[in-house]
Structure 1
Amino acid sequence: MDNVDLDVLRRVAAWQREGHRVVMGTVTRTWGSAPRPIGSVVAVRDDGSIAGSVSGGCIEDDLIIKARQGELPSDAPALTRYGVSAEEANRFGLPCGGTLELVLEPVTPATRLDELLADLDAGKRVRRELDIASGQVTHSPAKGEDAFEITDSSLISTHGPSWRLLVIGAGQMTQYLAQMARALDYDVVICDPREEYADHWSVPGTTLVRTMPDDTVIEMRPDRHMAVVALTHDPKLDDLALMEALKSDAFYVGAIGSRKNQARRRERLLEFDVSPEQIDRLHGPVGLRIGARTPPEIAVAIIAHMTAERYGFHHVQFEGEGEDENQTASA
């Protein structure tokens, strides 16, 4: 669940405390193109107020009308589809022939929304199972990769941080990168054993560790939901992290620095039993090639490249494909 949908849940909880009736809608299936992915959440209040989005606005408009007319489910969840025909697809703002399915879930004490939010605020990952017949919800710790499944009897979803980012170095650029990553629902860990940097770290919602970078990477056991970015410019720290991260399943491994510095880095990594194939996984200079100069601009380039890699857009041009025109001021 991304932060956009988490904000919807918080809004729903506030509406419920104010005494409003609320229905949540979760996208469970799509056919053809869809404005938002499976698992996205929308909520509509009894007076038509709405939070979240599942379309360009037309489906939300329909839900608002039904809420004001009292036509949304009030006792138990119900399945509904939009855009079954070409005419309806056009009416509801979906591509011609597209279809979107929602589970509409009235919010009741059985929804256990406050418990879910408390777990999420504590940084826990939660497996949520909704019994479609009764509306009863059960929670359990989420293990492994995200699960999302709809059957005739239940809707299973995973909530909480599923993507992790380890950044080596607690400098100024890391502050911007950490804030952006938190907005994208990454669980962010900062590793910096240097007192002069670590003592002044103050980004809310992140975890600072002072262990050596290679030990930190090994302890975190990077998987396909984790990125490692080295930003210290100190080979004694950055290379320690990279030599372990490049051997792992991390979906993204990057390091700051000019192309000349990256070439020397690759030579050093070969001496640490890192294979040429593993070194080829290194994004260095790190980030998309957008002409970034300042720390926040470079942070944007990094988070954008991580996002592209997450969604399989491996063809994008990265920051080091031209001359040393980027990241040189801070290299």
Structure 2
Amino acid sequence: MDSIDLEVLKTCEQWLQAGQRCELVTVVKTWGSSPRPEGAMLAIAENGQVVGSVSGGCIEDDLIARVQREGCVRQLPEIVTYGITADEAHRFGLPCGGTIQLAIEPLFVDRADGTDSQISTLLARLSRHELVARELNLQDGSVVLRQAETNEVLTISETHLRTIHGPRWRLLIIGAGQLSRFLASIALGMDYQVTVCDPREEYREGWQVDGVQLVHEMPDDTVIAMQLDSRSAVVALTHDPKLDDMALMEALRSPAFYVGAIGSRANNAKRKQRLLELDLSAAQIEQLHGPIGLYIGSKTPAEIAISILAEMTAIKNKVPVIKENQIAFAKQQASSENLGGCSV
């Protein structure tokens, strides 16, 4: 599963290869409330086809209508602003009088000045899981690509727009089961670089999700090798202390923003006691999320994967997690353990 923005770039490449002009629209600045964050992208082909989203409202309708009416006639990038007045905000569906600024970049084959949008080159680098900065010259439309730093963000000046592309976050999943398949697939769509680790051959056999690295080393060795940072998360799903505990110990000693393990409240309490014996401090153990995920009444592996990623997202975005009905959720996870631990 591709992220929305990666889907936009791939679709632009397909249109260009088919000889179609298109426009790449990027949210570069917002004021007040806005439905889409800075960096969100939309692409419109000259025949009116569209992929992606920058507002989810009438702004997109207006952009599409202009292309359908006039075609892709821009020769150079342009900055446009919607929602300056309260009337415009209401017209374009911006909440609370919000304002959104967009960069509209024309993409077409065989530019007369020889410049290249470098969409294909960017996609090739993203396929290698690189983090790439794309520098667009707003005055002549030229593009430069370079390796980005993990702390870089979108910036815009009078002359240049810098956007950041590639996986900004990493997820290590311990255990190659049915739940990990759903978790990995959804995480890919959320721009995570996903690694699944399972030394058990019988679990790795036949396990595959395109875009996910599957490794067979011991989980604690994988945690150490990954050199986890504050943009990393670790989720243990094997139900096997021999595989989970040492990896969790290493993960809890790291700056990872999220470390979680599936299991009932009783098993989670036993796990924490074992971790105490591994010379972790009480403060470090307190960072372990378990029972894992938010309570959403989930029962199937797909629903449990969503609950885990919901909790991860809240922690990543620094939103307080209120685990109401967590006892019920723990009972739910306990019953799943009785299924043999291979699917959830």
Same fold (TM over 0.5): yes
Superposed, which structure 2 residues align to 1:69-218 within 5 Å? 69-70=69-70, 74-108=74-108, 110-218=116-224
In structure 1, C-alpha distance between the alignment counterparts of 2:41 and 2:263, rounded to whole Å: 40
- Asked if 1:326 is matched to 2:319, the reply is no
Which residue matches 2:55? 55
Residue deviations 1:40-76 (CA, integer Å, cap 9, x gap): 1112222333222211331112112322343866221
Q: Which residue does the alignment assign to 2:32?
A: 32
| SS of match in other structure, 1:111 | coil
Asked whether the 8 Å contact 2:131–2:150 carries over to 1, the reply is no
The share of aligned pairs that are identical, in percent, is 50
Q: Does 1:236 align with 2:242?
A: yes
Q: Deviations over 1:124-174 (max 9, x none)?
A: 221111111111100111222342111111111111111111011112221
Q: Does the 8 Å CA contact 1:30/1:101 hold for their aligned counterparts? A: yes
Paired with 1:258 and 1:24, the residues of 2 have a C-alpha distance of 47
Give the partner amino acid of 1:60.
E
Which of structure 1's runs of 4+ aligned residues deviate more than 6 A? none
1:302-321 correspondence to structure 2 within 5 Å: 302-317=308-323, 320-321=326-327
CA contact 1:110–1:136 (8 Å) conserved in 2 = yes
Deviates more, 1:181-190 or 1:34-43: 181-190
| Contact 2:132-2:165 within 8 A present in 1 as well | yes
Q: Give the TM-score taking structure 1 as reference length.
A: 0.94
User: Which secondary structure state, in structure 1, belongs to the residue aligned with residue 28 of structure 2?
Assistant: strand
TM-score by length of 2: 0.90
Please provide the CA RMSD for this pair.
1.9
Contact map agreement 1:319 1:326 (CA 8 A) in 2: no
Q: CA deviation at 1:98?
A: 1.4
With over 3 angstroms needed to count, the CA separation of the structure-2 counterparts of 1:198 and 1:56, relative to structure 1, is closer
For residues 4 and 64 of structure 2, what CA distance do their matches in structure 1 show? 20
SS of residue paired to 2:331: coil
Contact 2:187–2:309 (CA under 8 A) maintained in structure 1: yes
1:3-37 alpha-carbon deviations (Å, 9 max, x no partner)? 11111111222222222221111100000000100
Could you tell me which of 269, 272, 282 is aligned with 1:276?
Answer: 282
C-alpha change, 1:105 and 1:324, in structure 2 (3 Å) is closer
1:38 deviation in Å? 0.3
Letter in 1 for 2:94: L
Q: Give deviations 1:54-102, integer Å, cap 9, x for gaps.
A: 1133111211232234386622111110000111111111124311001
Corresponding letter in the other structure for 1:218: I
Which one-letter code corresponds to 1:284 in the other structure? Answer: G
| Contact 1:148–1:156 (Cα < 8 Å) also in 2 | yes
Greater Cα offset, 29-38 or 321-330: 321-330
